[in-house]
Amino acid sequence: MTQSTENLSASQSDEHMLGHGFYNKNSHEQGKANTYALPLIVEAINRIDLRQIGSEFRIADYGSAQGQNSLLPMKTAIAQIRTLAAKFPSIPISITHTDLPTNDWTTLFQTVLFSPDSYLVGEQNVFCFASGTSVYQQIFPPNHTAFGYSAIVEHWLSRKPCNIPNEIWSVRAIGKVRDIWAAQAKADWHAFLEYRALEMQPSAQLLIVGSGADAKGNSGAEGLLDLANHILQQLVKDGTLYPSEYEQMAIPTYYRTAEEWKEPFTSDFVRRSGLSLDDFKEFRLDDVYLEQFQRDDNAQAFAAAYTGFFKAAYEPCLFVNLSDKRTPESRQHVIDSFSQKLESALAQDPRKYSCRWVLHLMLISKKQK
């Protein structure tokens, strides 16, 4: 997740990531999304002119989280680079994983260095690095990267632009409030592309696996998030959650339509930068948790899995808004009450709350010299 950390107070230092590998263990939906990109990784690598990238092949993994979901995409890229560079088998490959300073970097390095599924296994001359910098800032020197990869990242905004009355989900915003969120998403997407244009080498490729919206603006997860919002409202009614806390609970994500993703590529800056959108595909992500439920008919397991997914993705940014006057025990009671109610409700009707996320795959290139 890639919100900006600028102007965060000390009490917000845990906003971005549940540590100790929790995200790795509860991000199967995000991992599934990566599999849709594998053929485009091969295509992207094949488009790169090795004569223009120098003596090192540099890869940027934008928004790596705890690293588990980066392993297969990076392994796929390395294999294709070795095929493409058959005449230069010793070309070194460096991979830099980027995320926020508050990311669980310990888990990321433990995953990359020690997982049997790591892209380092069986490889020589492959090196991993990390940068704790938001994707909405410049991360690398100009003309640095040959291949950039980013999956399920850019729907996270650099900041929450405003609260959403009676809602936690930008998809449910209306009128001027929705316009404010759309404007923030547009500014962030432009900034992302401007910085990537600076960092990319001639003939470099950038592959985005975006969590987006259909033509009506729906992400495919409205049932789950509406349920979460309803439970939070219940917690306000029973006095567990303060109204002032709930009012702040807007998740800083925005799900762009195909038109919104494509818009910058008509701008003067992007044209001057040499970027072009060469391929755009839309998919509906299969629900790995529902598939398991259909096999075993275990509603409790479905509910536990989805609750873990929700906690890993959204708990930090929701409950960072709890009052500083609460004791640690009081804070944990609110979080536990929410999770228990969410899990109980999910078990009642798994199919109702299943998510079919909209995915947008974008292959972006920088023109050759």
Span 64-75, average pLDDT: 91
Enter the DSSP assignment of 324. T
Cα 279 to Cα 323: distance, rounded to the nearest angstrom: 46
Task: Indicate the pairing of strand 200-212 with strand 358-366.
Answer: antiparallel
Single-letter residue type at 174: I
Q: What is the pLDDT of residues 82-110, one digit of tens each?
A: 998 776 667 899 999 999 999 999 999 99
Q: What is the pLDDT of residues 324-338, one digit of tens each?
A: 999 999 999 999 999
* Triad 80, 95, 44: Cα angle to 5°: 35
Q: How confident is the model at residue 35 (pLDDT cuts 50, 70, 90)?
A: confident
Any idea what the CATH number is for the domain that residue 141 is in? 3.40.50.150
Q: How confident is the model at residue 11 (pLDDT cuts 50, 70, 90)?
A: very low
**pLDDT score for 5:** 39
3-state SS, residue 214: coil
With respect to residue 93, please indicate whether it lies within any of the assigned structural domains: yes
With respect to residue 103, please indicate whether it lies within any of the assigned structural domains: yes
**pLDDT score for 24:** 46
With respect to residue 328, please indicate whether it lies within any of the assigned structural domains: no
| Residue 312 clears pLDDT 60, i.e. is over it | yes
Span 309-332, average pLDDT: 92
Q: How confident is the model at residue 31 (pLDDT cuts 50, 70, 90)?
A: low
**pLDDT score for 8:** 36
What's the domain range around 181?
10-217+251-287+356-366
| Residue 29 clears pLDDT 60, i.e. is over it | no
Q: How confident is the model at residue 266 (pLDDT cuts 50, 70, 90)?
A: confident
Q: How confident is the model at residue 17 (pLDDT cuts 50, 70, 90)?
A: very low
With respect to residue 107, please indicate whether it lies within any of the assigned structural domains: yes
Single-letter residue type at 344: S
Lowest average pLDDT, out of 32-36, 240-244, 255-259, 311-315, goes to: 32-36
Minimal CA–CA distance to 44: which of 86, 6, 81?
81
Span 261-266, average pLDDT: 92
**pLDDT score for 272:** 81
Task: Indicate the pairing of strand 358-366 with strand 275-284.
Answer: antiparallel
| Residue 313 clears pLDDT 90, i.e. is over it | no
- Residue 289's CB: how many other CB atoms inside 10 A? 23
With respect to residue 350, please indicate whether it lies within any of the assigned structural domains: no
**pLDDT score for 98:** 97
Span 210-228, average pLDDT: 95
Q: Is the pTM of this model over 0.85?
A: yes
**pLDDT score for 87:** 67
Burial of 136 (0-12, 13-18, 19+ CB in 10 A): buried
Buried b or exposed e, range 164-200, using 16+ CB within 10 angstroms: beebbbbbbbeeebbeebbebbeebbbbbbbbbbbbb
Q: Identify how many contiguous H helices and E strands the chain contains and give both numbers.
A: 14, 7
Number of domains in the chain: 1
**pLDDT score for 267:** 76
Percent of the chain whose pLDDT exceeds 90? 77
Q: Which residues contact 127 (CB under 8 A, 6 or more apart)?
A: 92, 93, 94, 95
Bigger pLDDT: 351 or 15?
A: 351
With respect to residue 159, please indicate whether it lies within any of the assigned structural domains: yes
Single-letter residue type at 233: Q
Q: What is the pLDDT of residues 104-153, one digit of tens each?
A: 999 999 999 999 999 999 999 999 999 999 999 999 999 999 999 999 99
